[in-house]
A and B are shown apart, each in its own frame.
Chain A
Amino acid sequence: MAELLLDEILVPLRSFDLRLSLEADGVLALAGPSGAGKSTVLRAIAGLVSPRSGAIAVSGETWFDRRRRIDVPVDERGVGFVFQDYALFPHMSVRRNVEYARRGGADRYLELLGISHLAESRPLELSGGERQRVALARALARDPKILLLDEPLAALDTHTKAIVRHELQELLAELAIPTLFVTHDFADAAALAGRVGVLVDGEVRQVGTPRELIARPADPFVASFAGANLLGGHVTSTVDGVVRVLLADGTSVATTETARGEVVLAVYPWDVTLSAEPPHDSALNVIEAPIRSIAELGGRVRVGVGPVTAEITAESRRRLDLEVGRRVFAAFKATGTRIVAGGDA
């Protein structure tokens, strides 16, 4: 039996219904845009929200079953919930916050998270990263059957985020507690979870390993959420297994996927290379256009060129001397493209 079982959960939300069936073991991330109902899933599992129908079971224990009229109270469920804003009790010291979950034995959890030196501090005196550790220590002190993390990295600045992401990765691996966390950031989901479910408008579009979602996105949303460029066009010819797609702006792109009619192609930014001179490899798709935008993000640089965005290293950016408005050649292999919509042969 799966560690986490959500059986046809239905929670009416303001503009749509959350409908969910899910089986998960280990660390699962629910990723999706804000307002997709991600937090509601966590709240339903914790018992803070009562679904209109369906059932929830964790490690074989039924916590909620509308038909059997089971609804275990929040405080008896045994969840370790880390809220997005951490929800630390402002009138208690760090130690008292952790002891709230477990009388005595707080030290072990303060040590585990490396915050023993903060034991007597008040939450308001702590940085975002420190608060998150306190929230985690407190949730773990509960000895939870499942760990629920609501956007665990969203409240942190970029620099802290990278550090905490790494620490969280190690901690989750070490703990081996079933974990469900929600995030709007696919990169966080891919870094922390073995499996990722993409949740949009209250329904799961696709569940799989991060690798599977990138390699075979079920639809354009999943592809773009995973970071892909989406190129819409229609198939003009198929020669020797190479399909040519004419994009709306007149560019012709080759793909090795079989397709016909109107299609949407996905190309990942890390599969796009940039050069100042036209590349000589005829197997490449080449788009020549001025640079739209340049955004640097922790060592990686995202460069917008015509209809695509390329992700290159800061080193390459310096070498190529890129600036907005300069014409460059963006190239990607035909084998690096994936059809994510239309194209049914």
Chain B
Amino acid sequence: MFVRRLLLAVLLAGAAALALAFLVLPLVAIFVHASPGRLLSQLSSPVATDAFVVTLKTSVGAQALIVLFGTPTAYLIATRRFVGRSLAITLVELPLVLPPAVAGIGLLAAFGRVGLLGDSLGALGITLPFTQAAVVIAVAYVASPLYVRQAIAAFETVDPNLVAASRTLGAGPSRTFARVVLPLARAGLAAGLALSFARGLGEFGATIMFAGSLQGVTQTLPLAIYAQFDQAQGFDAAVALGAALVLVSLVLLLSLRLLLSWPSSSSTRSSFRFGLSTSG
């Protein structure tokens, strides 16, 4: 009995160790390959700095859009019971199950020159594909479900009696939202934003279809990695950029965590940890 139990424990631990090693190995390999000295020299190249700037600008733009439109959408879905609510939830989650390449071609078919809205946009003098705005749209499209889903869950956990209490105490709907709902949902919203940010930073498929890969315009870090990799002797540069992307993600996520959960309660921290672990 004892031996069997011991054997089971060893098997379990062994499987878990193997799985974890498998997950972390590629990361280790990247940093083994790209020593700090080589990393710095590779990263000072124009391709790398351009990709940095493009990634940063488009990520911030896309996340701003997601928060601006995603938050009210999530609140509506979380607190109201209306006809077509489950359809709305399905639509919100749609980009999650859509392959990024399909999302990219879809965006092109919708907003492209010969696309569904191409003529109307053209009449307004707007051309979207292969511009920085297209990167923002592609990233927003692909990353938004991660924020909105988490935001719905966060709003759903706010006790409706607290909202009711706020109203009876003389606060209108907007003051109630700002002083009761938002502070109580903040941890969940921050976790969602972190997930969405992480997903957006790595966006590749939809971006390359809809925005192309023009250095300094639409070439984000993931696209730059692929572009380098595609060149002869580009592997080192690609690995260096890969390491840089990992570092950028980490720094962004950590600063977001500090920014949004400060001053934090214990519940804020724990729910944020959940967010980070699911993004990994």
* B168 engages A142 (CB within 8 Å): yes
B14 within 8 A of A: no
Interfacial chain B residues near A79, Cβ < 8 Å:
168
B18-41 vs A, Cβ < 8 Å mask (1 yes, 0 no): 000000000000000000000000
Pick out which of these stretches binds chain A: B101-109, B129-137, B138-146, B176-184.
Answer: B176-184
Pick out which of these stretches binds chain A: B44-52, B58-66, B159-167.
Answer: B159-167
Interfacial chain A residues near B159, Cβ < 8 Å:
87
Among residues of A, the one whose C-beta sits closest to the C-beta of B175 is A75
A9-52 contacts to B (CB < 8 Å): 43, 46-48
A42-85 contacts to B (CB < 8 Å): 43, 46-48, 73-81, 83, 85
* A75 engages B183 (CB within 8 Å): no
Contact of A89 (CB < 8 Å), options: B162, B172, B265: B162
* B164 engages A48 (CB within 8 Å): yes
- Given A87-B159, A89-B180, decide whether A75 and B167 contact each other with a Cβ distance below 8 A: yes
B196-234 vs A, Cβ < 8 Å mask (1 yes, 0 no): 000000000000000000000000000000000000000
Contact of A101 (CB < 8 Å), options: B164, B169, B180: B169
Contact of B171 (CB < 8 Å), options: A75, A90, A91: A75
A100 within 8 A of B: yes
Interfacial chain A residues near B179, Cβ < 8 Å:
100
* B166 engages A81 (CB within 8 Å): no
B170 within 8 A of A: yes
- Given A83-B161, A87-B159, A89-B180, decide whether A100 and B169 contact each other with a Cβ distance below 8 A: yes
Interfacial chain B residues near A95, Cβ < 8 Å:
none
Interfacial chain B residues near A88, Cβ < 8 Å:
165
Interfacial chain A residues near B162, Cβ < 8 Å:
87, 89
* B171 engages A100 (CB within 8 Å): yes
- What DSSP secondary structure best describes chain B's contact surface? helix
B181-196 contacts to A (CB < 8 Å): 183-184
A138 within 8 A of B: yes
CB distance from A121 to the nearest CB of B (A): 14
* A87 engages B183 (CB within 8 Å): no
Task: Count residues of chain A with CB under 8 A from any CB of chain B.
Answer: 25
Interfacial chain A residues near B167, Cβ < 8 Å:
47-48, 73-75
* B169 engages A91 (CB within 8 Å): no
Interfacial chain B residues near A101, Cβ < 8 Å:
169-170
Among residues of B, the one whose C-beta sits closest to the C-beta of A122 is B265
* Best-buried of A76, A78, A83 by chain B (most CB within 10 Å): A83
Q: Kindly state the separation between the CA atoms of A81 and B162 in the bound complex, as whole angstroms.
A: 11
Interfacial chain A residues near B165, Cβ < 8 Å:
81, 83, 87-89
* A138 engages B169 (CB within 8 Å): yes
Interfacial chain B residues near A81, Cβ < 8 Å:
164-165, 168
Interfacial chain B residues near A73, Cβ < 8 Å:
167, 172
Among residues of B, the one whose C-beta sits closest to the C-beta of A138 is B169
A71-120 contacts to B (CB < 8 Å): 73-81, 83, 85, 87-91, 100-101
* A142 engages B164 (CB within 8 Å): no
CB distance from B205 to the nearest CB of A (A): 40
Q: Kindly state the separation between the CA atoms of A73 and B170 in the bound complex, as whole angstroms.
A: 10
CB distance from B110 to the nearest CB of A (A): 41
Contact of A75 (CB < 8 Å), options: B161, B168, B180: B168
Interfacial chain B residues near A74, Cβ < 8 Å:
164, 167-168
CB distance from A68 to the nearest CB of B (A): 23
Interfacial chain B residues near A142, Cβ < 8 Å:
168-170
CB distance from A47 to the nearest CB of B (A): 8
Q: Kindly state the separation between the CA atoms of A139 and B169 in the bound complex, as whole angstroms.
A: 7
Among residues of A, the one whose C-beta sits closest to the C-beta of B170 is A75
Interfacial chain A residues near B168, Cβ < 8 Å:
46, 48, 74-75, 77, 79-81, 139, 142
Interfacial chain B residues near A83, Cβ < 8 Å:
161, 164-165
* B161 engages A91 (CB within 8 Å): no
Q: Kindly state the separation between the CA atoms of A46 and B162 in the bound complex, as whole angstroms.
A: 14
Among residues of A, the one whose C-beta sits closest to the C-beta of B265 is A91
Interfacial chain B residues near A46, Cβ < 8 Å:
164, 168
Interfacial chain A residues near B166, Cβ < 8 Å:
89, 100
* B172 engages A75 (CB within 8 Å): yes
Interfacial chain B residues near A75, Cβ < 8 Å:
167-172
Q: Kindly state the separation between the CA atoms of A47 and B167 in the bound complex, as whole angstroms.
A: 9
Interfacial chain B residues near A78, Cβ < 8 Å:
170
Interfacial chain A residues near B171, Cβ < 8 Å:
75, 100
Among residues of A, the one whose C-beta sits closest to the C-beta of B162 is A87
* Best-buried of B162, B166, B167, B172 by chain A (most CB within 10 Å): B167
* B184 engages A91 (CB within 8 Å): yes
Among residues of A, the one whose C-beta sits closest to the C-beta of B184 is A91
Among residues of A, the one whose C-beta sits closest to the C-beta of B159 is A87
A117-148 vs B, Cβ < 8 Å mask (1 yes, 0 no): 00000000000000000000011001000000
A140-160 vs B, Cβ < 8 Å mask (1 yes, 0 no): 001000000000000000000
What are 14 sample pairs from A and B whose C-beta atoms fall under 8 A apart?
Answer: A43-B164, A46-B164, A47-B167, A48-B168, A74-B167, A75-B167, A75-B172, A76-B170, A87-B159, A87-B162, A89-B165, A90-B184, A91-B183, A100-B179
Query: What would 19 more interface pairs be, CB under 8 Å, given A87-B161, A89-B166, A100-B171?
Result: A46-B164, A48-B164, A48-B168, A73-B167, A73-B172, A75-B169, A75-B172, A77-B168, A79-B168, A80-B168, A81-B164, A81-B168, A85-B161, A87-B162, A91-B265, A100-B166, A101-B170, A142-B169, A142-B170
* B contacts, CB < 8 Å to A: 159, 161-162, 164-172, 179-180, 183-184, 265
5 shortest interchain CB distances as A-B pairs: A87-B165, A74-B167, A81-B168, A87-B161, A101-B169
